Amino acid sequence: MRSGNPALSKNSFENLIATSNEVMTLDGTVNKTAISMGILLIAAYYTYSNAIMDYVIIGFVGGFILALVTIFKKEWSPTTVPIYAALEGLALGGISKMYADSFEPGIVPQAITLTLGILFALLFAYKSKIIQATENFKLGLFAATAGIFVVYLVSFLMSIFGSGGLPLMNPSNSSMFSIGFSLFVVIIASLNLVMDFDFIEEGASNGAPKYMEWYGAFGLLVTLIWLYLEILRLLAKLSSRK
């Protein structure tokens, strides 16, 4: 069992024993995901509507630290995940405002709509077994996700040393190759949602502790944030061709 999502690795639900009659359920995870997304959207709206860019770094750094804490201390997830959602929301609101100012205001609602649309479409496809998380599917998706993050790492290292990163990562790069890469990343990020659904279903069927509902929501949130940012980048590239 493999996943490109670092929050939902193959060991995420191993050696977890519920200490009471309350165990993880799918409905509970859906509720926790809805609460987390609500917190994120409220925080994002605050920074977006007030154009507060200073919270972008604070949100991403704080969110990264809390993500690590959540991964290593899953039992803390009922506390850490809502805070993580708020911090990421503060960052995403600022990032979204930057995209809206640099390209076009409509890019943000388009990205939100597409992200939510992909989430519900893939959830339907997964529940109706149109898409199944077979072992070959997992292996292929893991390899593709790992390859994308290698590209991210190379671009990040290049930017540190002053070269500005890889050109295909630039939202203003409207070349067909750059757009094709972003479209590929959006597809892979979307398919990672199927992996997240599979791991959450596995945790619920194995009777994981109740707090793992929050952890399952955290895993979905990580993928959705990645997907949203990549959709924003893709829309920005398409906007640059006009």
Q: How many CB atoms lie within 10 A of CB 169?
A: 20
| Dist CA 219 CA 199 (whole Å) | 9
Nearest to 215 by CA among 5, 59, 41: 5
Tell me whether residue 11 is in a domain.
Answer: no
Quote the radius of gyration of the chain (alpha carbons, Å).
Answer: 18
User: Is 17 domain-assigned?
Assistant: no
**What would the pLDDT profile of 39-98 be if each residue is shown by its tens digit?**
999 999 999 999 889 899 999 999 999 999 999 999 999 999 999 999 999 999 999 999
Tell me the two tokens of residue 187.
Answer: 């597809």
Domain count, the chain: 1
E strands, 85-187, where?
none
Q: Is 103 a domain residue?
A: yes
How much of the chain is in helix, strand and coil states, percent to nearest 5?
A: 75, 0, 25
Tokens of 15: 């050696």
pLDDT tens across 133-153, in order? 888 888 999 999 999 999 999
Is 8 part of a structural domain of the chain? no
Burial status of residue 231 (CB atoms within 10 A of its CB: 0-12, 13-18, 19 or more): buried
Per the domain annotation, does 194 fall within a domain?
Answer: yes
As a dihedral over the C-alpha atoms of residue 200, residue 204, residue 208, residue 214, rounded to 10 degrees, the angle is 50
Residue 223 pLDDT:
96
What does pTM read for this prediction?
0.89
Judge whether 200 lies within some domain.
yes
For residue 206, the SS3 value is coil
Domain, as residue range, for 144: 26-240
Q: Examine the pLDDT at 4 and tell me if it is beyond 70.
A: no
